[in-house]
Amino acid sequence: MITAKFGGTAVTPRNLVYLKKIISPFHKVVVVSAVGKEFSSDVKTTDLLEKYFFSGDDNIWKAVEDKYRRLTEVNGIGIDVDELLFGAKARARRYGLQYCMSLGEELSAKIVAEYLGAAYVEADEVVRFGVRSLLFKETMSAMSNAYKGVKLAVTGGYYGMGKYGRQTFSRGGSDVTGALCAAATTSSLYENWTDVYGVCVADPVKVYGVSTIRSMSYSEMRALSRGGAEVLHPSAISPAERFSIPIKIGNFYNPQGASTLVSQCYSQNKLLSVTEQRVDGKIKTTILHNMNFAEISAVVSGFFGERYSVLNCFGVSINTEKNKTYSCVFSKNKAVLVTESTVIEDLYKYLRRAELIKVD
Ligand code: ASP
């Protein structure tokens, strides 16, 4: 039995057909996000809903309507979308911001359920929050009751019912709903379908052809998600880990293509991720890895050594050139470089030459 979650890009007029192709008789629960971006400058439904809540601007609501009308029209889905949208608008600004922002997932799930000929299971009925956080046990039992005996069910991600009304997870939270559904139905696999080939060491936009990390452990994925990898919500890991359910992160455009499997097995990759952040006017580059201290310090001093004089690479290394200071702090499985200007492109090149970043 499989639980599959589809991100917003799959739930767009031209891509919904890919979702349908993936669903097999082994699938039991499908979790969907709100309609996502169709092109890079497009605005996600959830962002539109947030703006609509604060402004009440009818043009923004029309943009939301347009997304869902086209979703049904392009795919020939026989649902009364006008009635759905009318009902959603009436509730949109009445029950608070989180309620309004959850409407995209609710609309997506109702439409996708009709499209797949599946049962619609309302997230309010199965995802339970306490005053602040998720009530795990209540959610598990509500879900196992709701999905029992259902052949295929569709549920909206990202929200559920709280003590004082509907509540959402943080952004990207449909991943969490999917993981909870997988746990409650003791699925043998949790598929998380996105528009990229799983998790890569480097940004695929900057390193053309960078290869996917084929497998990694739950804890490695957790470190990556916490470090800002946007491919999976950090809270989606524990429910799967608790029941040893592997998470497959794959590309819905090419389901047989490269993907990342997150399970109990540790990655074979020496390098897991290289990310860059701007913090207080400095550039912080974080390298997550599976190397021992000697190996990672050789990589870092090798990189800096090509450009700057390395004074010391043990614990903290300070390198000076042209009165600039560079520092590197090592902790277990992590090296953080702090520099005055970006080094990521050079670092990518260096790591490619060292064959720590592989390209296909
Ligand atoms: N639609 C929400 C967001 O854009 C939740 C999700 O997609 O998981 O963050």
Per-residue pLDDT reduced to its tens digit, 163-214: 999 999 999 999 999 999 999 999 999 999 999 999 999 888 888 889 899 9
Ligand 1: does its nearest atom lie under 6 Å from the Cβ of 123?
Answer: no
Q: Tokens 């010391």, residue? A: 312
In the numeric block, the tokens 């997550």 are attached to: 288
Q: Ligand 1 in contact with 157 (CB < 6 A)?
A: yes
DSSP classification of residue 134: B
CA of 46 to the centre of ligand 1 (A): 6
CA distance 279 to 29: 41
Q: Ligand 1 centroid vs 115 CA: distance in angstroms?
A: 21
156 ligand 1 Cβ < 6 A: no
At which residue do the structure tokens 């349908």 appear? 20
Order of strands across the sheet with 215-217?
119-120, 153-156, 27-32, 2-6, 189-194, 247-251, 260-263, 215-217
Cβ(129)–Cβ(112) below 8 Å: no
The CA-atom distances, in angstroms, between 357 and each of 144, 191, 194, 207 are: 42, 26, 22, 9
C-alpha 82/C-alpha 68 separation (Å) is: 10
Residue 123 has what pLDDT?
98
The string of pLDDT tens digits covering residues 3-31 is: 999 999 999 999 999 999 999 999 999 99
**pLDDT on residue 308:** 54
Cα 268 to ligand 1 centre (Å): 31
Q: What is the rounded distance in angstroms from the CA atom of residue 32 to the CA atom of residue 160?
A: 14
Q: Is 46 in the pocket of ligand 1 (CB under 6 A)?
A: yes
Mean pLDDT of all residues in the chain? 92
pLDDT (tens digit, 9 = 90+) per residue, 136-154? 999 999 999 999 999 999 9
- Residue 238's identity, in one-letter code, is S
- Give residue-wise pLDDT tens across range 228-245: 778 899 999 999 999 999
